[in-house]
Structure 1
Amino acid sequence: MSLVDNNTATPPLTVAKFGGTSVADFTAMSRSAAIIKHSPDTRVVLISACSGVTNLLVELANGISEPDRRQQLLQRLGEIHYGVIKELRSSEPVSSAVNVLLDSVSTLAAQAAKQPNVKLTDQLVSHGELLSTHLFTQILKEMGVDATRFDIRDIMRTDSQFGKAIPQPEDIRQLATARLQPLLKNQVVVSQGFIGSDSQGETTTLGRGGSDYSAALVAEAVNATTLEIWTDVPGMYTTDPRIAPAAKPIKEISFSEASEMANFGAKILHPSTLVPAIRQQIPVFIGSSKEPEQGGTWIRESVNEAPLFRALALRCNQTMVTLTSLNMFHAYGFLAEVFRILAEHKISVDLITTSEVSVSLTLDQTDTGGGAPTLPEAAVEALDKLCRVDVEQGLCLVALIGNQMSSTKGSAKRVFNTLEDYNLRMICYGASPHNLCFLVKEQDARSVIQELHQNIFE
């Protein structure tokens, strides 16, 4: 199957990324490999660890002193990968490589049991992708695809913030030109998402959403004309179908809209993924490796239709901080001091609203692993000297994504009339033409999404 962007000719170079569920076992890997076989433009493939493997490796990296439990996890790792190996026609070369990597995991896990640390965690966790790429490359070869495995750490240069390393795009481009580009002429290159290395050659990981992000960085570095993200759902929907079963698939969406959706909680795409694609205007396709025939969603700079309302996104585990002080009334410098304190404690702010004597803000949750972010005690103490600090959790952020919303008469009225029975907090509207967002209580979130979707999209 060769994906064709309707707005351009068939792209000469495609970078494809497959997530953990798309390479979960032999059957899933074979489906994904078939997609590549039938897409002659795909020259670079980045894959995640097999589904569930990263969680096992993280548990080992946290340090397990009990030998029996450690052995149990190591055995499970072996079962997952040998389950694929036993289905291969020629398993000898792959078995040897997998054994070496599993032995390495065992050694590192023993070290972590004595003294876990973030650097060791990155070394351990990287083995998931290193293992899966050996298996996937062999499956491609057995399908008749000329494929070669490539260690992404040779080009994915990052800084040394283990666990959430920041990629260096210029270094990546230079290294990719020298080491990766020459391999693309006659074969498919299979490599790893999520992992990289610093200038000292130490293994790093890119943090949450790192696999999609690294695929976009590679696409940028090799001047790809399409980036494909293959997952377990056929593209983006008007909202999460698990909340609103009548949610509709979105065939195409602009970079601006997709960025807003990703930022406000659409789990199918991490916000960082689109940054390299936007820089180089690379169209992004999202599809299901389980059902590629269903098509998916194209994300482009410009689209044929830009409706007033495009989709609803939901992001829970929100923390709202309200800072109140009479000194803020008709004063200058108050907000500057607030943000100086937040910056000093490396606190990233997401949304913000102000009144004459108070300011409310939500905390960015990029690196919380999905839980509600917290305000560090030292930051609270510093803010207490300036104002009263109230922290509230148990909230969800609802975002309505669309186009020209702030300049279209009546667009907000339709939303607020629908939700007149709910208490809406921190309404943010007008800063962007692409979204209207607000906080609601967690217990109301699903009902709010359902009612809004029914009145706007159904």
Structure 2
Amino acid sequence: MQVFKFGGASVKDAEGVKNLASVLKQVGFENTLVVVSAMGKTTNALELVINNYFKNKLELQNSIQDVKQYHNDILLDLFENTQHSIFKKIASIFEELDLFLSRNKSPDYNFVYDQTIGFGEIISTTIISEYLNAIGIQNKWMDVRYCIKTDSYYRRANVNWKQTQKAIKDNIDTKTLYVTQGFIGSDANNFTTTLGREGSDYSAAIFAYCLNAQSITIWKDVPGVLNADPRYFENAQLLHNISYREAIELAFYGASVIHPKTLQPLQQKEIPLVVKSFLNPNDKGTKVGKGIGIEPNIPCYIVKKNQVLVSLSSLDFSYIVEENISEIFRLLHYYKMKVDVIQNSAISFSVCFENSYNNLEQLLQHLKAKFKVTCHENVSLYTVRHYNEQAIKSVEKDKALLLKQLTQETIQIVTK
């Protein structure tokens, strides 16, 4: 079986959905499972819904209506007959969302987030599955929450591999074309969970692993894996081949084209991953596989915006030793900070991290009880793999450097 994954940019409008169908026709869809993200910027729109639910009830219905209208416009472009059953199906899904928000009693933001945000994927796949059936590409819509089982770590759930493998084996006929959701799963109580932002790639990898898939293809709006994000760097180049190891390194440092967790299950079973353009589906793209190295061997640039850099020193100028570092990491873990860089000297310790859960103020108050604390918010973290002097100069140009760290293969620079 082969696994395809289409991201939100590929199905942001009716033309995108039609192009998805065109891609399937061009490359073939026998024995295929298609994983699809929410359409366009739906996840962002649903995050606004969640924010209004907690902080601005007067705007809640307006923000929901915006999501409804966006999808209704796509439906009207795809289905000429407004009596088609898809209109009632989508209306029913939105009724489920309204019902949850009206009846929910939990004050837990992360729980509410996961129960709400997954509606984007449920809606997109329902529309796409119905459209494909309407044009003669027979497929079966599948609720991924019956297949991918997780713990209850909302917004960053961990997969229960034993349960997931059994569920996928029980629910999937490998000779059928399936359309299912990325990003979401469910816990032991059948509440919706999410695998982290951009987790749809990971969802596809989970299916590929459990199905012993022949390959996995991630369809993007770029020709493959580039050596830099073209939004931030000029003259980005296509990487033709990458080893699993190199791709995992790039993903770890934040390369947005592949989710950090995606590659590990693929590497275990040596399932090749191909990143291709949904605009030019017959181009070769980038192949990620066993022992390929990196081709061409050029610097690879990664930037992560909106980071936090905290520098700590002891109040009495004593050494920062193992006991101190252990306490710092305990607090970072407690407040759910994702650490990207650490650097320490005899009397200081610096750490750059993501404040994904908005716990920065609580963390700082805790740290200030034991350390002298300097905090820089909204900094940028640049990582360059296979760097050279020219690459370093290009990153440092016209920026205020706050931290710099080099290893044999990688340089990381934090700038303001």
> What interval of TM-score do these two structures reach, taking the shorter chain for normalisation?
0.7 to 0.9
Hey, what does 1:324 align to over in structure 2? Answer: 313
> How far apart are the structure 1 equivalents of 2:10 and 2:334?
41
Hey, what does 2:4 align to over in structure 1? Answer: 16
TM-score of the pair, normalised by structure 2? 0.86
Which of these residues, 336, 339, 344, is aligned with residue 329 of structure 2? 339
Which of these residues, 179, 194, 212, is aligned with residue 171 of structure 2? 179
The answer on 1:103 being equivalent to 2:95 is: yes
Hey, what does 2:379 align to over in structure 1? Answer: 395
The answer on 1:144 being equivalent to 2:139 is: no
The answer on 1:220 being equivalent to 2:188 is: no
Which of these residues, 26, 45, 52, is aligned with residue 14 of structure 2? 26
Hey, what does 1:289 align to over in structure 2? Answer: 278
8 Å contact kept, 2:239–2:295: no
TM-score of the pair, normalised by structure 1? 0.79
Q: Deviations over 1:112-167 (max 9, x none)?
A: 69978543443332222212212211222234323111111111101122333222
Hey, what does 2:146 align to over in structure 1? Answer: 154
Hey, what does 1:87 align to over in structure 2? Answer: 78
The within-5 A match list for 1:7-406 is 13-37=1-25, 38-41=27-30, 43-62=32-51, 63=53, 65-66=57-58, 70-71=61-62, 73-74=64-65, 76-81=67-72, 83-85=74-76, 87-88=78-79, 92-111=84-103, 117-180=109-172, 183-185=173-175, 187-303=176-292, 305=294, 309-325=298-314, 328-329=318-319, 333-365=323-355, 367=356, 375-377=360-362, 379-402=363-386
| Structure 2 residue identity aligned to 1:339 | F
Hey, what does 1:439 align to over in structure 2? Answer: 414
| Structure 1 residue identity aligned to 2:149 | R
Q: Deviations over 1:244-302 (max 9, x none)?
A: 33221111222222223233332222212223223332221112223324442212232
8 Å contact kept, 1:61–1:109: no
8 Å contact kept, 2:185–2:194: yes
Residue 400 to residue 103, structure 1, CA distance change in 2 (3 Å): same
Residue 332 to residue 92, structure 1, CA distance change in 2 (3 Å): closer
Residue 330 to residue 156, structure 1, CA distance change in 2 (3 Å): closer
8 Å contact kept, 1:328–1:358: no
| Structure 2 residue identity aligned to 1:57 | L
Q: Deviations over 1:28-69 (max 9, x none)?
A: 1111122223324551001112213333333333315337x6
> How far apart are the structure 2 equivalents of 1:118 and 1:313?
28
> How far apart are the structure 2 equivalents of 1:100 and 1:427?
53
8 Å contact kept, 1:137–1:148: yes
Q: Deviations over 1:194-246 (max 9, x none)?
A: 12111111222223112121111111111112111112222222212233332
8 Å contact kept, 1:309–1:400: no
Residue 331 to residue 251, structure 1, CA distance change in 2 (3 Å): closer
> How far apart are the structure 1 equivalents of 2:330 and 2:47?
35
* Partner SS state of residue 215, structure 1: helix
Residue 300 to residue 44, structure 1, CA distance change in 2 (3 Å): same
> How far apart are the structure 1 equivalents of 2:245 and 2:38?
30
> How far apart are the structure 2 equivalents of 1:125 and 1:421?
39
> How far apart are the structure 1 equivalents of 2:199 and 2:320?
44
Post-superposition offset of 1:18:
0.7
8 Å contact kept, 1:49–1:129: yes
> How far apart are the structure 1 equivalents of 2:37 and 2:224?
18
| Structure 2 residue identity aligned to 1:299 | V
* Partner SS state of residue 246, structure 1: coil
8 Å contact kept, 2:29–2:177: no
Unaligned runs of 5+ in 2: none
> How far apart are the structure 1 equivalents of 2:50 and 2:336?
26
8 Å contact kept, 2:30–2:177: no
* Partner SS state of residue 212, structure 2: coil
Tell me the percent identity.
27
8 Å contact kept, 1:108–1:120: no
